[in-house]
Structure 1
Amino acid sequence: MAHIKIRTASITEVPALLAFWARSAEGTSITDDPDGVTHLLVRDPEALLVAEQDGAIVGTVIAGHDGWRCHLYRLAVAPDQRRQGIAAALLDAAHERFVTLGGRRADAMILDHNELGQHAWRAAGYHPEEQWTRWVRPLPGS
């Protein structure tokens, strides 16, 4: 793996992060917009981890902690940079963050049809818990 720096994202990078996800992530979320990402970074400035190489974003993961549980979102690696250990480095940094915050278990949301993503998560030691189904409800104004 070429020299990769893992760091936290800044609010000034929101447009670049959204553009990166449009190219590199699977699917979109209701919060994939400037307000959603900015709100995340204001609330928890250390939650969005970025892998950077030569000044360019090559990977991301959101390592959210609500004080009780550890949640992972938006693990994405640039298509031309995959299979070089970037996702593993991002997850190691996320796991370190969670341990520091007192976390006991991390969970990740992976789209059912995202076979590439499922492979990456399994390789990192994650597995689906078949007894759970995610229930959602959009909030007013969404």
Structure 2
Amino acid sequence: MKKAQMFIITMVFLVGLLSAVQTYLRTYSAVDISEIMKNNDIYLFENMKEVVNFTVTSTSSCSELKSNLEELEFFLERYKLFGYTMNIDFSLNCNYWYNSPPQKPPVKMSIEIERADYGSKSSTKGYYRIYRSGITP
């Protein structure tokens, strides 16, 4: 009877020990992509496109859009603190506000993102026509 009790107590202890080791090691096996995404020009570029697209499609008037785009440019200047140089140019024509593709767009946008890091330089560029219904390349 004593051997059986000792066996059960030993097994419970070993299972607890293995569970604790597994929990401890699980934190080291998680994939951390935050550093990759923080330094990824393409991710930032696509994110900026989506923000501009949302700004255009959610704005009700052309005059309001002009102030929203200026505010957005000011907001995007903060990325210079992270080592990015951004050149964003908007061309807004309120005469085309109600146009849809293939007509002329109300907003033309060019984006260029540069990052100089540890002696290397990367650059991402794009030009987009934005309608109130969304971006067209």
State the TM-score, normalized to the length of structure 2: 0.29
State the TM-score, normalized to the length of structure 1: 0.29
